[in-house]
Structure 1
Amino acid sequence: MAISLDRLAGFHHKAIQIRTDRMEVIAGNLANANTPGYKARDIDFQSAMKSAKYAQKHSLDRTHERHFPGSMQTNSELQYRIPAQPDTGDGNTVEVQTERNQFLDNGMRYQAGLQFLDGKFKGMKKAIGGGQGG
């Protein structure tokens, strides 16, 4: 029986990728907290995961080497953040405390995802090794 790493960790790997992208977006928001006119952005994690799940189920297989590889992913997950505070006059929508909280929350979820994947791989390694070693 063949071992499929995509079946083992593919979906969780995608979650880690989305969390990484989200960290970059939030870090960009924090870096531009004092830039006039900058609009804070964020990745809708739930929407991105739904898109990843759909793409995983509906991936297009190439039946001939001259066919173009297909992909059905969109960038609709990257959105502007709606500010909770009124505009201060410079048009910047970054709320530093909100961004920090989102960054920390995303970081903890990223770590949890890595630990989950680590456990999956350790379990696979143990199964391959016949339960010996660790």
Structure 2
Amino acid sequence: MAINFDKALGVHQYTLGIRSQRAEVISSNIANADTPHYKARDIDFDKAFQAATSRQGGLSMSRSDSKHFDLKALSQQNIGYRVPDQPDTGDGNTVEMQKEQTEFMQNALEYQMSLGFLDSKFSGLKKALRGD
């Protein structure tokens, strides 16, 4: 009998990838906090999760050539610009450092939770395979 990893791992395999990508986007915002005219970006988690679980663009890759994957289009599809809470400071930059740090920490905690859930799922699978 074959193991269906989608059923065995649940949604955690998808959330881990989305959280990882979101960490990169938020890190980019933090790195560009002093760059004039830089616009803060974020991932719409709900849209990314829907795309990943329905496999309509979330995990499937489009090809520009039979030997290549279009990874840039895949990674950019659920990223949008964040609406700033504070008025413009004059340089056109919309990065709010405190918000970015808060979002980064929240995302890191949720990433760790997803890792913990996946770890427990894999532990359960190993026990089932060993017959414990």
Per the shorter chain, which TM-score range? 0.7 to 0.9
Give the whole-Å Cα distance in 1 for the aligned partners of 2:52 and 2:101.
26
Letter in 1 for 2:127: K
Structure 1 residue ranges (4+ consecutive) displaced by more than 3 angstroms after TM superposition: 73-76
CA RMSD of aligned residues (A): 2.3
Unaligned runs of 5+ in 1: 61-65, 67-72
TM-score (norm 1): 0.81
Give the whole-Å Cα distance in 2 for the aligned partners of 1:53 and 1:74.
16
Give the whole-Å Cα distance in 1 for the aligned partners of 2:22 and 2:7.
24
Q: Equivalent residue for 1:7?
A: 7
TM-score (norm 2): 0.82
Give the whole-Å Cα distance in 1 for the aligned partners of 2:104 and 2:88.
22
Q: Equivalent residue for 1:105?
A: 106
Q: Equivalent residue for 2:121?
A: 120
- For residues 32-66 of structure 1, the C-alpha deviation after alignment (integer angstroms, 9 at most, x for no partner) is 0000000000001111001112217xx99xxxxx9
- For residues 2-27 of structure 1, the C-alpha deviation after alignment (integer angstroms, 9 at most, x for no partner) is 11223322642221111000000000
Q: CA deviation at 1:108?
A: 0.2
* Aligned pairs for 1:1-134 within 5 A: 1-9=1-9, 11-55=11-55, 75-131=76-132
Unaligned runs of 5+ in 2: 61-65, 67-73
The number of residues matched between the two structures is 119
* Comparing 30-39 and 11-20, the one that deviates more: 11-20
Letter in 2 for 1:93: T
